Amino acid sequence: MTRDEKFKLRRRTTRREIWSRVAEIPNLPIKVALLAVYLLGAVYVQSKQETADAFMETLILPAPLVEAVCDNLLRSYLLAGVIVFGVLLIYPFDRKMVEDQFQSIGLANSAGIVPRLLRKRRDKDHPRVTIWEFNNPSLPLKMWEDKRLAIEAALDINIISMKYGKSKGRIIVYAVPAKDDLPEHIEWKEEYLSPDSFVLTLGDGYIGPVTVDLAKIPHILLGGSTGSGKSVLLKLLLMQALYKGAEVYVADFKGGVDFPPAWHERCRMCFEEDDLLELLTGLADELERRKRLFKKTGCPNLDEYNKVKGTHLKRLIFACDEVAEILDKSGADKTRKDKLSSIESKLSIIARQGRAFGIHLILATQRPDANLIPGQIRTNLGCRICGRADSILSQIILDSTAAADQISKEARGRFLLHDGTVFQGYWFDERQFERSG
């Protein structure tokens, strides 16, 4: 960028900042003022109709357009106003500002050409969401993703998603204004419980509730550092599973202190490795039993089997608040390593085959060590959720550093889903759970 270009950019930026400050003055509602001027103009134009008629009489051969305008002065004025306001609504007057901002953050191709704003409109299905469409000067989508945080800061928005348009020469950005950020705390209400078969509600996103359907994505990997709200979200999911009639099994190697008595009454809790191996062996055996049952009836999944047989075979959910404690073999003797290997093998079987037979895993971790969760288990945990985390833990959970980049270090209950969806998890009050028992 040349010195002259930098000077012009600073000058335009300064003008925009001044206008922004004026527009934010609470006693000066710009839009109302413009509307008032427009209406006063209509009154003034109407008062000049006689003058226009007199002017027409002085013309010998007036042009048809001039004659039509003078004969219908008020209507012409109103029509012109509608056209002007229509243009104001449709034309992206932010275009030059956007180009300047993209130039500032380095979103440009090798020739220095930046994306150009083509249009900006509200999403019909989600009124909070604005759709930005850009002409894309040969930039890969990954470059847009890498510049995501800079784009958000430059345009004062929170990006929901970005994708190519009808061709790679177009980029579509779905976003909400930065001032419309998610609340920092959302209390859980029973009305949030999904009526659908086994859909669990995670929290609120920018375009509404965020859910996971265990019938389609059977297993969940949940990560987050201490204080991120990970355990609260885990309990929220387990509470909903209980309300929907599932049998819930919880491994907790802290002796159950993180789970009040109400959980012990409604779930099977295990605190020792021997008990855990017995539990997982039972779940693996149940998986094989269901496999035989489904094969006899020709049913491909649990919902279909229950429908055909008229039974209510329950979904089974195994949860662990810190799976690394289960799988960590460091410092273990041969006997214990063999036991942990057996536990890992049972988890792997359920992870690979549990979907059709209604047996699910919800595994949580806060330890940033990729070696503790074997690949054969991790690759089958289709739903990935990460809260506040460092880049290593984010990489383990999401296969990217997105959570470390996008979630504030002070955030609690803010999570990032594997598909890039940001949401605020519902705050689940365990006292309410205890009273409902």
30-47 vs 49-58: helix axis angle to the nearest 10? Answer: 50
CB 277 within 8 A of CB 258: no
Here the tokens at position 357 are: 């037979």
User: What per-residue confidence (pLDDT) applies to 83?
Assistant: 80
Which helix (H) or strand (E) is 165 found in, with range? Answer: none
Q: What does the block give as tokens for 391?
A: 């880049």
**HSE (CB half, 13 Å, CA atoms) of 374?**
17
CA angle 380, 382, 383 (to 5 degrees): 140
pLDDT tens digits, residue range 342-353?
999 999 999 999
Is residue 408 within 8 A of residue 374, CB to CB? The reply is no
CA atoms of 296 and 317, how far apart (whole Å):
24
8 A C-beta contact, residue 395 and residue 252:
no
- Centre a 10 Å sphere on the Cβ of residue 78 and count the other Cβ atoms it contains: 15
| Dihedral angle sign, alpha carbons of residues 154, 156, 158, 161 | negative
Q: Which helix (H) or strand (E) holds 211?
A: strand 208-213
d(CA 387, CA 430): 20
- CA dist., res. 350 & res. 280, Å (int): 9
Nearest-10 Cα torsion for 140, 145, 148, 149: -130
Find how far residue 396's CA is from the centre of its chain.
19
DSSP 427: B
User: Does the pTM exceed 0.85?
Assistant: no
User: Tens-digit pLDDT profile for the chain (437 aa)?
Assistant: 666 766 666 666 666 555 554 444 444 456 677 778 888 888 888 888 888 777 777 776 667 777 777 778 778 888 888 887 766 555 556 788 898 999 999 999 988 899 999 888 889 888 889 999 999 999 999 999 999 999 999 999 999 999 999 999 999 999 999 888 889 999 999 899 999 889 999 999 998 899 999 999 999 999 999 889 999 999 999 999 999 999 999 998 876 778 888 898 999 999 899 999 999 999 999 999 999 999 999 999 999 999 999 888 999 999 998 888 888 888 889 999 999 999 999 999 999 999 999 999 999 998 867 677 888 888 999 999 999 999 999 998 998 999 998 898 888 999 999 988 999 999 988 776 766 65
How far, in Å, are 24, 222, 320, 346 from residue 340 at the CA level? 62, 21, 15, 10
DSSP helix/strand/coil, 200? strand
Nearest by Cα to 225 from 318, 370, 322: 322
Identify the pLDDT of residue 6.
61
pLDDT at position 152: 94
Cα(131)–Cα(161) distance, rounded to whole angstroms?
Answer: 10
Look at residue 113 and give its three-state secondary structure.
Answer: coil
- Of residues 337, 388, 347, the one with CA closest to residue 224: 388
Give how far Cα 84 sits from Cα of 67, 77, 87, 94, Å.
22, 11, 5, 17
The one-character DSSP state at 182 is P
In this structure, which long-range contacts are made by residues 262-271, counting pairs with CB atoms below 8 Å and at least 24 apart in sequence?
Answer: 262/430, 262/433, 262/434, 262/437, 263/235, 263/238, 263/433, 265/437, 266/242, 266/437, 267/238, 267/242
**What domains appear along the chain, each with residue ranges and CATH number?**
3-90 (no CATH), 95-180 (3.30.980), 190-436 (3.40.50.300)
Order across the sheet with 157-164: list the strands. 116-122, 130-135, 170-177, 157-164
Tokens of 99: 């180009």
pLDDT score, position 28: 46
- Of the candidates 234, 228, 230, 232, the one whose C-alpha atom is nearest the C-alpha of residue 187 is 232
